[in-house]
Structure 1
Amino acid sequence: MDTILDTVAPARRAGRRPNFPLDFKRQVVEATFQPGASVSLIAREYDVNANLVFRWWRQYQEGTLAPIKQSAALLLVQVIEAPIAILRVVQSPSVCHSEIVVEVGKAKLRITGTPDSQALLLILQQLLR
């Protein structure tokens, strides 16, 4: 079955590496963005090596092959000075009447109040060694 391609790779000169135009490289890379596209099949279609297509893909992503298309909308911003009321919620420290007592061997540790979790973990690790 014969397949006719719409786009043909530029003719290669014998004994020299081909120097593909940027438009051609972009076209090959953008063909890989289609859903279900296979890089190896697209490379065969355009008569280039798949590794070359991957290199062009990286260059495309970095913006060195072509500027990355970004859709950005600029918005008009007006800065006004207005007093901002900042409400500060101050909570009274909670009263904790808890007590933890840990006895390991001859060591005895008594903690009252609300212990710091990191300090408590370090102390327990040292006691339980």
Structure 2
Amino acid sequence: MRATACRTDLPDTQPDPSAHAQPDRLGLASGHQPGPGSAPAGRIRLSRPQADGSRRVVDLSIAPEYRRRGVATEALNRCEGALSLSVTRTNLTAQRLYARPGFTLRGSDELDLFLHRP
């Protein structure tokens, strides 16, 4: 299992093309250790620090076979410092996921909830 975790060298919404070429390897909550040629468990990408010092979660995706095994929660818990993100109002599964590592509502609009973790 591999995951790119807590990348801090990315622009706010631009993916890093080298992220897949040189991923950080993590043994996450599923208990599987990464090995040569192993498929990624998922990835998390963060923005550069915002004006308030927090980083924005730009992308968090977990492969279907690793979902509901704590991988996303562990990836978020490994990120230090304040984080912010947005989630669609109708995505209740993601809202429950983000509540576990301490994200709380900071604002909303007609489509999204804006969450923050200090």
TM-score normalised by structure 2 residue count: 0.24
State the TM-score, normalizing by the size of structure 1. 0.22
Say which structure is richer in helix. Answer: 1
**RCO comparison, higher one (Cα < 8 Å, 6+):** 2
Bigger strand share? 2
